[in-house]
Amino acid sequence: MAAGPTVLIMAAGHGTRMKSSLPKVLHPVCGRPMLLWVAAAARAAGAERVVAITRPGEGVAEHLPEDIETAEQTEGEGTGSAVLAAREAIDRDGTVLVLSGDNPLIASELIEGIVATHQEQQAKATLLTTSRLDPTGYGRIVRGADGGVEKIVETKHTDGVPEEYLAIREINIGAYAFHGGALLDALDRADEERGERYLTAALPLILESGGRIAPFETDDVSSAMGVNNRADLMDVERHARSALLRAHARAGVSFPNPETVTIDAEVEIGEDTVIEPGTTLRGPTVIGAGATIGPGTTVENSEIGDGVSVLHSYLTHCVVHDRASIGPFAYLRPKADIGADAKVGTYVEVKNSVIGAGAKIPHLSYIGDADVGEGANVAAGNITANYDGRDKHRTTIGARVRTGVNTSFVAPVTVGEGAYIGAGSVIVDDVPAGALGISRPEQKNVEGFAERVEKKP
Ligand code: UD1
Ligand code: MG
């Protein structure tokens, strides 16, 4: 698509059948709003100008990246009114592409195909069709004797629609190329139906004015699927996920049980990494090479290095460096930064803390707002008391420190390099490097206690 035409994406209206407070086109498919899938396909097909048609107050415009312009649909209902709202963006002498914001998996190759067909056939309108979907609810393509399109019969409401039209399997996917002037002239004259001005009502008027309407038929089911309710959304998500997993698999990632893996569009994974069953990878998560993630693990918006292993754990907005070992049953919260070769083990929670290279926190600990030095060993059941009821404070545990089990660090507090902490201590004062910090009541043994107690009548 040389010096690509303008692409309009219809994205207004709440989509009442979604039964949602979120506008339809913002519903995510593999973590990315539907509308952004469409915009990405338009860009990949070479579109220079992408204009989303939104309605003020619906909150869609506010969610768009800067390179997507918006046109506000303030008047009228229906896809025809939507396009008219973008009148200023339509070149009367050029080609304009119109895509639907609820048709997320449309392939960029098909967008290119629409434009090529439009030019070859010198059409005034070209539209993408398929006969491969259940046609229920879609606009049906009525073809003329020459194979061109005569009109589209909408079937969202079937009352009064003649049987012969309901028997047609070929449907309108909702992706079009138009001659700008022909489109605007037709839409301005189009009648309303059920209070809506339909974009599809422009077609017979374009034909009447002597313009050709070319169909461009595809067998690509995922590209064709429109989303009008959440059952449609599930179907689309399944297709998108399967395509993503296959692309990762071809790039060297193993999924022993792909049916149980959930993955977002932005996720990146290195070669030789294994994504075990029951794993969910969300947001712009990056996973290195030779890692093992899962089983039973969620990783969101995080960066995981090479050779890392994460078992049965939940990781969100954190960084894990090469070869570290996480879990089973660890919880890494925002700004946890786990050093290379470090270990964060069973029932350990880490938040806003830097764990040095090779440090170990193997069992039952909470480390929040802390800096743990390289090679330190934090014994079982250590807690950083980071919150005094009003403010958060940091704990610093130096390199190669060895803490005892059941230690509490009452922050702010610093333990110097190579120091030891006695088991069961509550550390409220700094411990110098190389010292032993111990704070617990001395033990007292009461001799003969059992005998005395058991002899009581
Ligand atoms: C539309 C087509 C139908 C096609 C189907 C494919 C019309 C009249 N019908 O029906 O032929 O088979 O898509 O999925 O076009 N929108 C606006 N402003 C509005 C109304 C809708 O921007 O006033 C946007 C919606 O956000 C949506 C798109 O246009 O992304 C399509 O609207 P929708 O109501 O879903 O039309 P369908 O009934 O699916
Ligand atoms: Mg729709």
Q: Angle at which helices 108-120 and 34-44 pack, to 10 degrees?
A: 50
Cα 454 to Cα 95: distance, rounded to the nearest angstrom: 98
Q: What residues act catalytically? A: 363
**Amino acid occupying residue 236:** V
Quick one: average pLDDT of 172-188?
Answer: 98
- For residue 281, CA distances in Å to 98, 242, 264, 277 come to 33, 14, 6, 12
CB 171 near ligand 1, within 6 Å = yes
CA nearest 100: which of 63, 136, 139? 139
- Cβ neighbours for 75, distance < 8 A, ≥ 6 positions apart: 81, 84, 85
pLDDT of residue 1: 44
77 CA closest ligand 1 atom index: 23
**Which protein residues have their CB within 5 A of the ion that is ligand 2?**
102, 226, 228
Q: Are 50 and 43 in contact (CB under 8 A)?
A: yes
Q: Are 365 and 349 in contact (CB under 8 A)?
A: yes
The per-residue pLDDT for range 114-135, each reduced to its tens digit, is: 999 999 999 999 999 999 999 9
The per-residue pLDDT for range 310-331, each reduced to its tens digit, is: 999 999 999 999 999 999 999 9
User: What is the value of pTM for the model shown?
Assistant: 0.94
Strand partners, 351: 368
196 CA closest ligand 1 atom index: 23
Quick one: average pLDDT of 340-351?
Answer: 99
CA of 81 to the centre of ligand 1 (A): 11
CA of 228 to the centre of ligand 2 (A): 5
The per-residue pLDDT for range 218-267, each reduced to its tens digit, is: 999 999 999 999 999 999 999 999 999 999 999 999 999 999 999 999 99
Domain residue spans of the chain: 6-224, 253-437
What's the CATH fold of domain 253-437?
Answer: UDP N-Acetylglucosamine Acyltransferase; domain 1 (2.160.10)
35 CA closest ligand 1 atom index: 30
Using most ligand atoms within 8 A of CB, pick from 51, 55, 100 the residue to mutate for ligand 1.
Answer: 100
154 CA closest ligand 1 atom index: 11
CA of 102 to the centre of ligand 2 (A): 6
CATH of domain 6-224: 3.90.550.10
Ligand at minimal distance from the CA of 8 is: 1
- Cβ neighbours for 105, distance < 8 A, ≥ 6 positions apart: 29, 37, 222, 223, 225, 236, 239, 240, 243
CB 60 near ligand 1, within 6 Å = no
Q: How high does pLDDT run on average in the chain?
A: 97
The per-residue pLDDT for range 42-82, each reduced to its tens digit, is: 999 999 999 999 999 999 999 999 999 999 999 999 999 99
**Which strand ranges, in their side-by-side order, compose the sheet holding 353-355?**
268-269, 286-287, 303-304, 319-320, 336-338, 353-355, 370-372, 395-397, 413-415
CB 70 near ligand 1, within 6 Å = no
CB 172 near ligand 1, within 6 Å = yes
pLDDT of residue 5: 86
> What percent helix, strand, coil does the chain show, rounded to 5?
20, 30, 50
Residue closest via CA to ligand 1's atom 25 equals 11
**Amino acid occupying residue 330:** A
| Tokens encoding 11 | 């994205």
pLDDT of residue 457: 78
pLDDT of residue 3: 61
Share of the chain above pLDDT 70, in %: 99
